Amino acid sequence: MLVLVFMGVFVLITGAVTSYVFVQAKAGRAQLAREQSFQIAETGLEYYRWFLAHNPDDLTNGTGLPGPYPHEVSDPEGGELGAASISINGNSACGVVQSVDITSEGTSNADVRFKRTLAARYARPSVAEFAFIINSNVWAGADRVISGPYHSNGGIRMDGTSNSTVTSSVENWLCTSSFGCSPSETKAGIFGSGIDSTLWSFPVPQIDFAGIAVDLAEIKTIAEERGLYFQGVSGRSERHGYHMIFLGDGTIDVYRVLNTVYAWGIHIDDIEAGWQRDYHTINNESYLGNYVIPPDCGLIFVEDMLWLEGEVSGKVTIASADLLGGNFDTDIILNGNITYSGNEGEDGLTAIAERSVLVPLQVPDDMSLRGIYVAQNGYFGRNLYACWYAPHDKRNSLSMQGTIVSNERVGTKWGYSVSGCGTNWSGFDTRTNSYDRILATDPPPFTPNSSDNSKFILWRED
């Protein structure tokens, strides 16, 4: 009886161990098949990225027929491993492909039941991947809070709070009194009292501003054909232009600015010039009408000065430039809050000014701006307005979600001393900037690129 009992126990243990070994072997084969399927799916993505590098306009794998397209994957030492099924979808606006979505389903011959699917978006990276891109020396003050990558092709004094990378393209630079250095002295590419200095890096390669500059002539042509185009008038000047208000329903109200009044301001790109007249306050305008923004081509071109505000619905790019000849470079004046009608990445704004993007004297005390703002040849900022214009000289806060691209130094707060005002300040008391992660992978049409090299800007497993 004792022998039988021990034999029974032995049989039970042996059976359990054998069953466990078989289960583990089966799980191992399944895991191997899943991993091979994953790698095969990734091979499909990489194959079509290579294909697009050589055939950038071909979304049919050279067949001229709709997909999916099979792609066999072989091991040079072990024969065929499996196959990827590739589907291609081009994301177009105004008839021009902006990005390509690639889906690859991988299947391993080890076990065809375990399939893996990967999806990626292939495009040139846009400026929306940054909170700031600046082509000049810059000073981020102690009250500045920045979320998202911050880059300058010049030197950076970083006294603010930044939770992402801060990069400069110079090893050192001459910090002058304009940046808080008195007397002037040579400083490292990035210096200051800002926290998280471990995220600072310099020198790094420049971001090519010539490459960032969009082809305004091409945008104008497309806007005339498929979007909205508003022509300039003879005798163009900074005192006249268009006032556009986004209504949050896919339309804009458009006014013709007939007259403006000026305020004395000092410009951050030309401080030595002293006080200049800024004709930014609208005094008289005429209503032109309500216009529907084409849903398949959210592109607006204005051949004049532009005042902008309202609630944006859909993905819209608006450009202001004078391409009719002469020496007139246009600005975009952010006349009030600019917000989105939704919060799920369905809406977005890119505003491109031939010269500068400016916040005028009369704006909300707590101002909110969303979008990508590009000052191609000038600067983004609010000029210095002295205490003569109280209470408008001082505003409480500026909250921005999106991207600022500025050829010249950025500035929205000033310290100054002038007769009648004493030692004072002007601008926004607190300023918060954060980049829009959704627009980084799905920006409005014709948003400028930060690089000419296409890459996967979005990658996930479905």
Q: Where are the domains of the chain?
A: 2-123, 127-461
CB-CB contact of 329 with 355 (8 Å): yes
Question: Over 80: is that where the pLDDT of 199 sits?
Answer: yes
Percent of the chain having pLDDT more than 90?
Answer: 60
Strands 357-358 and 332-340: parallel
Q: How far apart are CA 130 and CA 152, in angstroms?
A: 11
- The number of beta carbons lying within 10 Å of the beta carbon of residue 150 is 30
pLDDT band for position 208 (cuts 50, 70, 90): confident
Pick 382 or 325 by higher pLDDT.
382
Q: Are 149 and 127 in contact (CB under 8 A)?
A: no
Whether the pLDDT of residue 22 is over 70: the answer is: no
Left, alpha or beta for 338 (phi > 0: left; psi -120 to 50: alpha)? beta
Residue 16's CB: how many other CB atoms inside 10 A?
10
Tokens coding 177: 């009194």
Q: How confident is the model at residue 11 (pLDDT cuts 50, 70, 90)?
A: low
pLDDT attached to residue 12: 72
Nearest C-alpha neighbor of 324 from the set 308, 303, 340:
303
375 DSSP assignment: E
Residue 429: per-residue pLDDT = 93
How many of the other CB atoms lie within 10 Å of CB of 121?
Answer: 18
| Of residues 235 and 411, more confidently modeled | 411
Which residues touch 227 (CB under 8 Å, ≥6 apart)? 94, 293, 294, 297, 298, 299, 300, 301
The whole-angstrom separation of Cα 354 and Cα 320 is 6
Number of CB atoms found within 10 A of residue 293's CB: 22
Confidence band, pLDDT 50/70/90 cuts, at residue 134: very high
* SS3 track for 171-187: CEEEECHHHCCCCCEEE
Please answer whether residues 167 and 197 qualify as being in contact, where contact means their C-beta atoms are separated by less than 8 angstroms. no
For residue 78, the model assigns a pLDDT of: 72
